[in-house]
Amino acid sequence: MIEPRTLPGFYEFLPEKQIEFNKIKDIIIKNYEKFGFLPLDTPIIELQDVLLAKAGGETEKQIYTLEKGDKKLALRFDLTVPLAKFVAKNYGELAFPFKRYQIGKVYRGERTQRGRAREFYQCDIDIIGDGELNIINDAELPTIIYNIFKELDFGDFTISINNRKLLSGLFQELQIEENSAEILRIIDKFDKIGIENVKKEFEELNLSQEKIDKIIDFILIDGTNNEKIKSLKSYNINNDIYLKGLNEIEQVIENIEKLGVPEDYYKIDLKIVRGLDYYTGTVYETFLKDHRELGSICSGGRYDDLASFYTNKKLPGVGVSIGLTRLFDQLDGLGLIKYNKKSTSNVLIVSMDENMDKCLEISTILRDNNVNAMVYMEDKKIKAKFKYADKLKIPYVIVIGEEEIKQNKYTLKNMKTGEQSLLSIDEILNII
């Protein structure tokens, strides 16, 4: 006999959790499709040289590799590389802008700690342009995020928006471009390590006190979105990249408003930079206001070129990703996942005796009327049958015995209130 074990970092929910997980996933899909995104489902296994074309360092260490025959294979570690491969491979078949969503499992062999899964779902959307892509697309993504988290109802949230070009412009103005990668890395940690440590790390880079103050002032620009844009304009930086960034973020903010997102839900935050050097313009992070400690629950940004490792075509894009497994696990830990349902059934039909004929007949009528219904088929005491409904939190039980069959009426019990009444099938259908 072998002990049935599941690997650490790999999730396998009980059905009641899986039902809630799926509900969230379905809301995400519905909203992605509402904005016209097309589904994609790429393989989990790819050739190593294809998957790792661009990867390096940390990513490569975390990867799951395997061999089959003479082929070196690997499991995907995100959904962006497979998208790049797919678009490069099928360029001629696609209509651009290509809007795709993909929801699927990805694999990273990280050390497991709370919230660090090795197998987890990502829910990605990206809009890929052919050569160019209008900046208004960058306003559509926060609108989709807003719609999703509004519907998911996990509490108030903020979509923080920045544009990398603004910081690049600032660094150029301050003539500290050669340090920009390190400076961005430090800014990225601002929330985690606090202002004093940020200053200390800047000092370790040998930045002058004046420049450090200027950076700090800049990333802490405060006010409403319009006030922040005004401040950014008054900064008097005139290099091309800064002006471009300024123009972009202004358009993004304007158009989010036009798309009907209430101002409370999105704000310019000049500290948001995202870890990846991949991003070249707009960047996003999303925070639950009451649970900032969770970090960003939905992030992304604009990139100049999706698939330069696979094709000469220039394919700029913008995308965001929800790390669904991690998010679900964290929300569950906080008690924010409500287990209203533990079953997919609305009704359990039980017989008073061994005769199941009427139960089967009634179950078919219910299903034909789009009611999810289950017949309890085992030969158990009536108490055991009710216990089953209770354990699965099935809202209604229909009881059928000789008397009911004679009268052509059936006992419907509301499992929440305990109420029960003798009703015709039509009356039952009206209630359920």
Binding to a copy of itself (CB under 8 A) within 47-66 occurs at 47, 49-50, 53, 64-66
Shortest CA distance to 109 belongs to which of 98, 100, 120, 99? 120
Interacting residue with a copy of itself among 76, 79, 99, 241 (CB under 8 A): 99
b/e per residue 38-71 (b: at least 16 CB within 10 A): eebeeeebbebebbbeebeeeeeeebbeeeeeee
- Residue 121 pairs in a beta bridge with 105
The token pair that represents 111 in the structure block: 């050390």
DSSP state of 350: E
Q: Which range, of 157-165, 207-215, 289-297, 308-316, touches a copy of itself by CB under 8 A?
A: 308-316
Interacting residue with a copy of itself among 11, 242, 284, 303 (CB under 8 A): 11
Binding to a copy of itself (CB under 8 A) within 144-173 occurs at 147
Task: State which H helix or E strand residue 163 sits in.
Answer: strand 157-163
429 binding a copy of itself? (CB under 8 A)? no
Interacting residue with a copy of itself among 28, 133, 187, 320 (CB under 8 A): 133
Binding to a copy of itself (CB under 8 A) within 335-374 occurs at 343-345, 348, 356-357, 360-361, 363-364, 367-368, 370, 372-374
Shortest CA distance to 251 belongs to which of 225, 223, 278, 284? 225
User: Minimal distance in Å, beta carbon 22 to a copy of itself?
Assistant: 6
**32 C-beta neighbours (distance < 10 Å), count:** 23
263 binding a copy of itself? (CB under 8 A)? no
In the sheet with 266-268, reading across from the earlier edge strand, the strands are 38-39, 98-107, 119-128, 317-322, 299-303, 282-288, 157-163, 266-268
Interacting residue with a copy of itself among 193, 377, 422, 431 (CB under 8 A): 377
Give residue 155's identity as a one-letter amino acid code. Answer: G
Binding to a copy of itself (CB under 8 A) within 288-307 occurs at 307
User: Minimal distance in Å, beta carbon 351 to a copy of itself?
Assistant: 11
Shortest CA distance to 331 belongs to which of 339, 342, 343? 339
User: Minimal distance in Å, beta carbon 394 to a copy of itself?
Assistant: 8
The token pair that represents 151 in the structure block: 């519907």
User: Minimal distance in Å, beta carbon 366 to a copy of itself?
Assistant: 9
Per-residue x/- mask for a copy of itself, residues 230 to 249, rule CB under 8 A? --------------------
Q: Residues 130, 313: contact at Cβ < 8 Å?
A: yes
Interacting residue with a copy of itself among 115, 129, 295, 401 (CB under 8 A): 129
User: Minimal distance in Å, beta carbon 127 to a copy of itself?
Assistant: 9
Binding to a copy of itself (CB under 8 A) within 171-200 occurs at none
- Residue 114 pairs in a beta bridge with none
- 215 vs 412: CA distance, rounded Å: 68
User: Minimal distance in Å, beta carbon 417 to a copy of itself?
Assistant: 22
User: Minimal distance in Å, beta carbon 376 to a copy of itself?
Assistant: 8
Interacting residue with a copy of itself among 61, 112, 391, 422 (CB under 8 A): 391
Binding to a copy of itself (CB under 8 A) within 264-283 occurs at none
Give residue 269's identity as a one-letter amino acid code. Answer: D
Interacting residue with a copy of itself among 34, 61, 72, 289 (CB under 8 A): 34
- 21 vs 125: CA distance, rounded Å: 19
Q: Residues 284, 263: contact at Cβ < 8 Å?
A: no
Which residue lies nearer to a copy of itself by CB, 33 or 217? 33
Interacting residue with a copy of itself among 27, 116, 134, 182 (CB under 8 A): 134
Q: Which range, of 178-186, 203-211, 227-235, 376-384, touches a copy of itself by CB under 8 A?
A: 376-384
Establish whether the linkage from the previous residue to 4 is cis, with ω within 30° of 0.
Answer: no
- 179 vs 161: CA distance, rounded Å: 23
- 350 vs 404: CA distance, rounded Å: 12
